[in-house]
Structure 1
Amino acid sequence: MSGWFELKQYGSGGFRFLLKSKDAQTMLQSDRYPCRESVDAAIGLFRKHCTSPGSYEKKIAPGGKSYFNLKAGKEVILVSHLYDSEPTRESAIEAIMQAGTSTRVELC
């Protein structure tokens, strides 16, 4: 198994998902969603687009660090955290493309 989705529920009832690697490291984190149905739909959209190299819009932040936007068409569905280098960002994208199709979802 290459990874899984971890759902975090907040006291307000909102949810967020984290994509975890096989060694339980957080690979990425979503924004908050108002309900379980919304976060489940977001995971489905993520799974659909995470394997397509063309869905990754690669960027450089003003401070020189690398990041990416994962897009569904023209819509940004997730913004990554900042990476120290472009090769590190590329490695992260490769790992996310593999782990992001996981059907395993755990509520924490």
Structure 2
Amino acid sequence: MGASVTVHILEDDPGVSDSLQTYMKGLGHEAVVYRDAESFFGREPPAASDTIIVDLFLPGIGGAKVIGWLMGLKNPPRVIAISGQAQSVIDRQLSGVAGNFDILRKPLSPHTIAQMV
């Protein structure tokens, strides 16, 4: 396992966000959950060393807009987009979003997430 990082989890499904938070803490990382993008934007911008896990289909401001904002930061953090939608829907959501980020489909594999963080 690498160094401890802060993982910001933007997920409105409590079952998914709680599981991710518990798993990240078990790996020795700090994990903070936001039920919507507005709560995330109300805090200081993330550090370049942070990891952001963002559901593409958040209520209010969608995950694609969050990713676009994160990619526009001078030193963007690691970003992992998650979605349970069909690949064609994911592609439409992310159309026009440039940057280096990963995409994972739900259901999520703890092993895969651990390797990305």
Q: Which has the higher strand share?
A: 1
Higher helix share: 2
Q: Give the TM-score normalised by the residue count of structure 2.
A: 0.22
Higher relative contact order at CA 8 Å, sep ≥6: structure 1 or structure 2?
Answer: 1
* TM-score, normalised via structure 1 length: 0.23
